[in-house]
């Protein structure tokens, strides 16, 4: 048996394991859990960190203002040093649309050791604390919510006894590159953090989706959020881990009516979205980077390479084994393509998309060692605890 056949067989075995033993990550039926309306609706404060978001606010903020929530709810938008009139636009949208009360605050520059977004979240939570809310909804400025979104989140949290209920917003898929890259982003995230395991009590798997996180205010204080995770670049995963470490119960699933309105029309835009934090996900560890690159190559690149090499060199067993692995890979990708209403013909292209993600991850490491590191809205963080660079 040739070395390539052995490697391809290992790749096929890896796909069989992923298919059956990785929390059925490929399924897309993890939606808001069963819920019933509470007898009394708790108060909620919505915290929206916003930095240079004037382009997306007209499509997102009105959806928050228009929330059909039976209890007391209020919005706190934190204008984090915007230069495009984000704060004034938010006030104008509130005057024009009415709805939930809106307060616009400004936190000033973050001190050393804080990522900009979490510093903005801290300021928003501080403003909200005076209202003594039972829940906090942390949502990004590019997220549009259906009118009953807040109502359903609170009902799910109350019914299931969850300290965190988070929905992964449906990202935009209109440009060619969005269709190729965005569904894979959610697919890879679910592979790393299977949603079923996150919601299981006693499971160590923890993650949330930062665009839509309903958080019990008392749990936030107990878990020291955001102060305890102030250095985190991947703040949603850090938040979920902090809540679980404090004994809280976390749920994460796919959204039906929570959507991101932010466009990523070019590959460059998507590349920046992924590479800004990919190496932080690997804890800036070169060994983890090497292992990730090797793992991506083995699992995603070996099957098509084996098919081509086997067909060209007469290695029927190698070609068939590679084709089987490729078929399992494509099959696991079909549900997320259906969720995003994309043609199933994109499924066999997953190895090419995985190659793009591999290169993005390597680029993230290169940028880190060049001193640029992770970024959020123009602020870069060369290492954990670094002072933000406004360049």
Bigger pLDDT: 387 vs 276: 276
Residue 390 has pLDDT above 50, yes or no: no
Average pLDDT, the chain: 94
- What does 302-344 look like in DSSP terms, one character per residue? HHHHHHHHHHHHT-HHHHHHHHHHHHHHHHHHHHHHHHTT--G
Q: What is the pLDDT of residue 380?
A: 62
Residue 321 has pLDDT above 90, yes or no: yes
324: its two tokens: 């089987």
Binned at pLDDT 50, 70 and 90, residue 375 comes out as low
Give, in order, the Cα–Cα distances in Å from 310 to each of 7, 21, 322, 361. 13, 29, 8, 29
Helix (H) or strand (E) holding 13: helix 3-21
Nearest to 180 by CA among 363, 10, 351: 351
Residue 254 has pLDDT above 80, yes or no: yes
Q: What is the mean pLDDT of residues 130-137?
A: 97
Q: Calculate the CA dihedral of residues 155, 161, 162, 167 and round it to 10 degrees.
A: -30
Q: What is the pLDDT of residue 1?
A: 61
Q: What is the pLDDT of residue 241?
A: 97
Q: What is the mean pLDDT of residues 229-249?
A: 95
Binned at pLDDT 50, 70 and 90, residue 233 comes out as confident
Give Cα 15 distance to the centre of its chain: 24
Percent residues over pLDDT 70 in the chain: 95
Q: In angstroms, how far apart are the furthest CA atoms of the chain? A: 73
140-197 confidence digits (pLDDT tens): 999 999 999 999 999 999 999 999 999 999 999 999 999 999 999 999 999 999 999 9
Using DSSP, state whether 375 is helix, strand or coil.
strand
27-37 confidence digits (pLDDT tens): 999 999 989 99
Residue 372 has pLDDT above 80, yes or no: no
CA distance 295 to 35: 39
Residue 374 has pLDDT above 90, yes or no: no
Any idea which fold 44-264 has? Answer: Spore Coat Polysaccharide Biosynthesis Protein SpsA; Chain A (3.90.550)
Residue 208 has pLDDT above 90, yes or no: yes
In eight-state DSSP terms, residue 347 is G
Residue 387 has pLDDT above 70, yes or no: no
| Domain parsing of the chain, residue ranges | 3-24+269-373, 44-264
Total-model pTM:
0.93
Beta carbons of 78 and 107 less than 8 angstroms apart = yes
Binned at pLDDT 50, 70 and 90, residue 371 comes out as confident
Helix (H) or strand (E) holding 352: helix 350-369
Percent residues over pLDDT 90 in the chain: 88
268: its two tokens: 């460059």
Nearest to 351 by CA among 271, 275, 297, 277: 297
Q: What is the pLDDT of residue 384?
A: 47
52-103 confidence digits (pLDDT tens): 999 999 999 999 999 999 999 999 999 999 999 999 999 999 999 999 999 9
């Amino acid at each position: 048996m040739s070395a390539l056949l052995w490697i391809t067989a290992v790749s096929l075995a890896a796909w069989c394991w992923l298919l059956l033993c990785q929390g059925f990550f490929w399924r897309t039926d993890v939606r808001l859990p069963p819920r019933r309306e509470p007898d009394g609706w708790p108060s909620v404060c919505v915290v929206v960190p916003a930095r240079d978001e004037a382009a997306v606010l007209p499509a997102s903020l009105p959806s928050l203002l228009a929330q059909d929530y039976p209890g007391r709810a209020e919005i706190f938008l934190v204008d984090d040093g915007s230069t495009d009139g984000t704060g004034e636009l938010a006030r104008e949208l509130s005057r024009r649309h009415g709805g939930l009360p809106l307060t616009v605050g400004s936190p000033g520059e973050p001190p050393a050791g804080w990522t900009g977004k979490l510093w903005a979240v801290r300021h928003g939570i501080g403003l909200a604390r005076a209202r003594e809310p039972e829940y906090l909804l942390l949502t990004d400025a590019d997220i549009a919510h259906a009118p009953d979104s807040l109502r359903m989140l609170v009902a799910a949290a109350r019914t299931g006894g969850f300290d965190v209920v988070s929905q992964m917003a449906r990202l935009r898929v209109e440009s060619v590159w969005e269709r190729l890259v965005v569904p894979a982003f959610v697919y890879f995230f679910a592979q790393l953090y299977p949603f079923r395991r996150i919601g299981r009590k006693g499971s160590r798997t923890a993650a949330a989706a930062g665009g839509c996180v309903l958080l019990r205010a008392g749990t936030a204080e107990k878990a020291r959020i955001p102060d305890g995770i102030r250095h985190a670049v991947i703040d949603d995963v850090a938040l979920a881990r902090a809540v679980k470490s404090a004994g809280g119960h976390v749920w994460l699933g796919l959204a039906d009516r929570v959507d991101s309105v932010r466009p990523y029309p070019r590959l460059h835009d998507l590349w920046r979205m992924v590479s800004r934090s990919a190496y932080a996900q690997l804890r800036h560890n070169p060994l983890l980077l090497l292992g990730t690159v090797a793992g991506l190559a083995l699992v995603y690149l070996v099957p098509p390479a084996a098919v081509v090499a086997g067909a060209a060199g007469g290695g029927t067993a190698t070609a068939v084994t590679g084709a089987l692995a490729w078929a399992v890979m494509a099959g696991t990708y079909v549900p997320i393509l259906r969720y995003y209403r994309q043609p199933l013909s994109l499924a066999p292209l997953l190895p090419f998309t995985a190659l793009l993600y591999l290169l993005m991850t390597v680029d993230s490491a290169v940028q880190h060692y060049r001193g640029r590191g992770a970024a959020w809205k123009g602020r870069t963080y060369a290492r954990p605890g670094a002072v933000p660079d406004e360049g």
